[in-house]
């Protein structure tokens, strides 16, 4: 089985309040995510990113069509627990996700709920904390940690449940540059070393650029889908739906309007500089 998540003809609407009509989010969404891949999901506010993420572990159920997680139908109540073991979620605000007064107890909360024997919990908690680089803080109080540290504890809490897939909904939105780097490094490492499938929902184009695949959602539909290079070359499309490409691609695009003829795929500053240098050297 190499498909982690399969979204087939998904329909979903939030019910309207009183007389107001339902808010339709998806009418016919199709998306496949491969096991072991790192997919970034981009889109403007209200495009359905978070709604989609909540379909990946049965927090929301399809109004029509199907969502399969490792072959399991998310609308089958019998599969609920198995699905939630497969797919862990990390949300935006670390303060809303931490439940215990000691870091290691917080990380143990998930495995405890899975009914795992305590020696095994001990192993998993230690392993998870080491993987996110927070082992030395295992006896600290979570509320005294920085945002990036708290978010890494939240991620440890998810990986202690040993999921095959982690869905992160804007995990760095509330963090400073250092915290963002810590979280991104952790995500990349889990994906590369443990083969965990990562679905990262983000507003930061530079984070999306680190994924293997970028999916752009707009008004409940897939507006673009490809490697970061392919997606971020489509600067006009991104602008038309209220998004932007990374600054490097934006610069090249703007320069092309001023008589340059630059490729738009360069995302890293050094690569962009190299391309500009080639174009300008005498």
Which chain residues interact with other proteins by CB under 8 A?
17, 43-46, 92, 146-148, 170, 173-180, 203, 205-206, 242-244, 246-248, 250-251, 254-255, 258-260, 269-270, 272-274, 276-277, 279-282
CA dist., res. 197 & res. 213, Å (int): 12
* Residue closer to other proteins, measured from CB, 67 or 272: 272
Please, what is the minimum distance in Å from the beta carbon of residue 76 to other proteins?
32
* Residue closer to other proteins, measured from CB, 85 or 203: 203
48 torsion bin: left (phi>0), alpha (psi -120 to 50), beta (else): left
Please, what is the minimum distance in Å from the beta carbon of residue 17 to other proteins?
7
* Residue closer to other proteins, measured from CB, 132 or 160: 132
For residue 66, what are the β-bridge partners?
8
The answer to whether residues 172 and 12 touch, using CB atoms and an 8 Å cutoff, is no
Please, what is the minimum distance in Å from the beta carbon of residue 66 to other proteins?
28
* Residue closer to other proteins, measured from CB, 84 or 218: 218
CA dist., res. 152 & res. 144, Å (int): 14
CA dist., res. 25 & res. 75, Å (int): 18
Please, what is the minimum distance in Å from the beta carbon of residue 26 to other proteins?
17
Please, what is the minimum distance in Å from the beta carbon of residue 274 to other proteins?
7
* Residue closer to other proteins, measured from CB, 68 or 91: 91
**Please, what is the angle between helix 147-159 and helix 177-194, to 10°?**
20
* Residue closer to other proteins, measured from CB, 110 or 171: 171
Please, what is the minimum distance in Å from the beta carbon of residue 123 to other proteins?
32
Phi, psi (5° rounding) for residue 47?
Answer: -85, -10
44 by DSSP, 3-state: which?
Answer: coil
CA dist., res. 30 & res. 10, Å (int): 7
Most distant pair of Cα atoms in the chain: their distance: 69
């Amino acid at each position: 089985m190499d498909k982690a998540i399969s979204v087939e003809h998904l329909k979903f609407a939030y019910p309207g309040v009183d007389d107001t009509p339902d808010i339709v989010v998806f009418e016919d969404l199709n998306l496949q995510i491969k096991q072991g891949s790192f997919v970034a999901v981009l889109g403007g506010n209200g495009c359905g990113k978070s709604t989609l993420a909540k379909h990946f572990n049965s927090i929301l159920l399809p109004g029509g069509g199907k969502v399969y997680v490792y072959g399991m139908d998310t609308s089958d109540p019998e599969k609920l627990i198995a699905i939630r073991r497969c797919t862990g979620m990390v949300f935006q605000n670390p303060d809303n996700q931490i439940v215990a007064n000691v870091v290691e107890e917080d990380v143990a909360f998930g495995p405890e709920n899975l009914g795992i024997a305590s020696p095994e919990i001990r192993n998993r908690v230690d392993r998870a904390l080491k993987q996110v680089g927070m082992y030395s803080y295992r006896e600290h109080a979570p509320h005294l940690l920085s945002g990036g540290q708290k978010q890494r504890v939240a991620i440890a809490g998810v990986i202690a449940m040993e999921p095959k897939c982690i869905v992160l909904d804007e995990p760095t939105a509330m963090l400073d540059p250092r915290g963002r780097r810590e979280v991104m490094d952790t995500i990349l490492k889990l994906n590369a070393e443990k083969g965990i499938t990562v679905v990262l929902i983000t507003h930061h184009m530079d984070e999306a650029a680190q994924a293997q695949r970028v999916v752009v959602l707009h008004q409940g539909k897939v507006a673009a889908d490809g490697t970061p290079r392919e997606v971020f070359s489509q600067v006009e499309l991104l602008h038309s739906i209220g998004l932007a490409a990374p600054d490097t691609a934006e610069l090249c695009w703007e320069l092309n309007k001023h008589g340059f003829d630059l490729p738009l795929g360069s995302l890293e500053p050094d690569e962009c500089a190299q391309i500009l240098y080639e174009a300008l050297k005498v």
